[in-house]
Structure 1
C-alpha cells in the first residue's frame, strides 16, 4: 500500500493525495512514509480536534500537508514556486 496522486489543481496549488489505510489515527505514521518516499522534510507539525497541518520543505521550497477526516489529504503551496514544485511532484508520483 502506498500514497497516490488523486488530483491536481494547478491554479489553486493543491495536490490531492490518497492512501488506502488513511484515517485520523494512521495519518502521523503514513505521513512519515510519504515524507520518506517523496523526499520531503517536516518543519512543523500541528494537529487540532479535526485537522493535521504540517509545514514541509522540498529542497528550498515550503509546502503544506493537510489532513481532515471528512475532507481527505492534500498538499498545498502558497506561491508560484510552490505550485511549480507541486506540479513536478504530481508528475513524478503519478500512478
Structure 2
C-alpha cells in the first residue's frame, strides 16, 4: 500500500459510472495525493491539467481511459471512464475494490 493514502469517503454511482471520493487534500497537495492514488490503482498518467480551482488528469488502466478530477471548492474528487460502456463500468467497479482498503473507518465520538 502506498504510504499516506487515506480516503474519507468513497461512493460508486453506477448510473453515471463515477467513483466519488473525498480525502484530506487541498488544491496544492492534490498532485502528490493523485500520484499515490495512481500508484495504488496501477494507473498510468497520460496528461495533467489544472486551473484556478480544479485538477483534471487523464489516466490509463489496462487500455481503459479514465479521468481523475478534483474540485477545490467542494474538496471532492471523482474518477470516471472517458467513454461509458459496460467494460468501463466493470473497470470502475474493480478500481472501487482497490480503493476500499484506503477508506478510513469513521470513529464514534461516544
TM over 0.5: yes
Structure 2 length normalisation: TM-score? 0.77
Structure 1 ranges of 4+ moved more than 2 A? 17-20
**1:2 shift after superposition:** 1.7
**More strand as a share of residues:** 1
**Matched residues in 1 for 2:88 and 2:46: separation?**
15
- CA RMSD in angstroms comes to 1.4
Corresponding residue number in structure 2 for 1:75: 79
**1:6 shift after superposition:** 1.0
**Structure 2 unmatched ranges of 5 or more:** 102-110
**Structure 1 unmatched ranges of 5 or more:** none
Conservation of the 8 A alpha-carbon contact between 1:3 and 1:17: no
**Matched residues in 2 for 1:8 and 1:91: separation?**
10
Corresponding residue number in structure 2 for 1:43: 46
Corresponding residue number in structure 2 for 1:7: 11
